[in-house]
Amino acid sequence: MTARALTGPVLVVGAGLLGTSIGLALRRHGVPVLLTDVNAPNLTLATGLGAGEEWDGVRDVELVVVAVPPDHLADEISRFLGCSAAVVTDVGSVKSAPLRQVAARVDAATLRRYVGSHPMAGSERSGPFAASGVLFDGRPWAVVPHPGADPGAVSLVTELARLCGATPVTLSPAEHDLAVARTSHLPHLVAALMAGRLTEAPEDHLALSGQGVRDVTRVAAGDPGLWQQIISANADAVAELLGDVRADLDRLLTAVREGERGSLGELLERGRAGTAAIPGKHGGPAQVLGELYVAVPDHPGELARLFSDASEIGVNIEDVHIDHDPGRPVGVVELAVAEDRVDLLQESLEARGWTTHR
């Protein structure tokens, strides 16, 4: 199928994190964007950020993107299918339940213009202030057509995902919901179960928290009201996986209590295998990066001098992390560069007087 160009205007319904980010991404490509939201301050902020113009009610748009909370998806999708001739998509986290609700409200010919979608990007922060035009860069974006969807509409929604910088992945609604139950909803609930155990801990116990517990629990900081709606909309798939986890947890509990090292080891091995099953961050083979640590005195000019030196050496820096500790006069900057450039960077920086460490 030839890709259908997306020229707009695109109407984004809901100027939260996702809606505003889509507006910002489309504006970077010059696509006209109209925004609407029942929350006036959100709308003002999103238009002020440059995510699009405030919608004046005109219905002659090419594509409507419904980016509202899960409980309101079916209402808004049905409304815009009814009041315009545009292709309508949404960015909700669950696809089967809203589709059933919409199909019960509009006729089959109208339903052809609806193609659900779901960008796999987000943040534990919410609202337009957390939005970014690069939120979707390199992320998967599920395009989820129902069997009766118009091929042109599918193509247009696929193009939306591409223009936003994402990698489109086509799945049926049922497959999509099973997939996100496992890769998104279950991880969220598991993180919440773990984080819940921290609320009863003494402060001096929590002082021992390292990076591990922070990572395991990070997503649980997300908006409970929103996640309650998401989980409820995908309850069957989530409940089945939770049941599987409970069976494993029972085995684990017995293994720990009875000192059965073999069963404990099997569970840990299976966990390790699971982490290896997740594909590379950008959905393709990951670029191989190497790290170089550089000691940098903690005042403004030094970081500039480091980057200036790296620039003169001609090595492109792919990522930077500054391990900042206010109590120390020297910070450590971790530079990630292509693996075959680490030697050159290290030798050249050392020659310029920097202290480095692999």
Query: Which residue type is seen at 190?
Result: V
In eight-state DSSP terms, residue 56 is: -
From 4, 298, 344, 348, residue interacting with a copy of itself (rule: CB under 8 A): 298
Is 107 or 269 the residue whose CB approaches a copy of itself more closely? 269
- Is 322 a binding residue for a copy of itself by CB under 8 A? The answer is yes
Is 103 or 336 the residue whose CB approaches a copy of itself more closely? 336
Choices 77-85, 109-117, 148-156, 229-237; region in contact with a copy of itself by CB under 8 A: 229-237
User: Rule CB under 8 A: which of 186-225 touch a copy of itself?
Assistant: 186-199, 201-222, 224-225
From 72, 110, 317, 348, residue interacting with a copy of itself (rule: CB under 8 A): 317
Is 103 or 245 the residue whose CB approaches a copy of itself more closely? 245
Is 227 or 354 the residue whose CB approaches a copy of itself more closely? 227
In the numeric block, which tokens belong to residue 262? Answer: 């073999």
Backbone angles phi, psi at 92, to 5 degrees: -70, 155
Is 148 or 265 the residue whose CB approaches a copy of itself more closely? 265
- Is 311 a binding residue for a copy of itself by CB under 8 A? The answer is yes
Distances in Å between the Cα of 71 and the Cα atoms of 225, 229, 232, 321 are 10, 6, 9, 39
From 104, 108, 109, 278, residue interacting with a copy of itself (rule: CB under 8 A): 278
Is 64 or 169 the residue whose CB approaches a copy of itself more closely? 169
At CA 157, angle to CA 62 and CA 126, rounded to 5?
95
From 147, 273, 288, 329, residue interacting with a copy of itself (rule: CB under 8 A): 273
CB 115 within 8 A of CB 87: yes
Name the packing angle between helices 342-351 and 300-313 (round to 10°): 120
Is 112 or 176 the residue whose CB approaches a copy of itself more closely? 176
User: Rule CB under 8 A: which of 41-70 touch a copy of itself?
Assistant: 49
Choices 33-41, 98-106, 125-133, 152-160; region in contact with a copy of itself by CB under 8 A: 125-133
- Is 171 a binding residue for a copy of itself by CB under 8 A? The answer is yes
Helices and strands: H and E segment counts in the chain: 15, 12
Distance between CA 357 and CA 296 in Å, rounded? 12
- Is 73 a binding residue for a copy of itself by CB under 8 A? The answer is no
Residues near 74 by Cβ (< 8 Å), separated by ≥ 6?
A: 97, 98, 101, 102, 105
3-class SS at 1? coil
Query: Which residue type is seen at 316?
Result: N
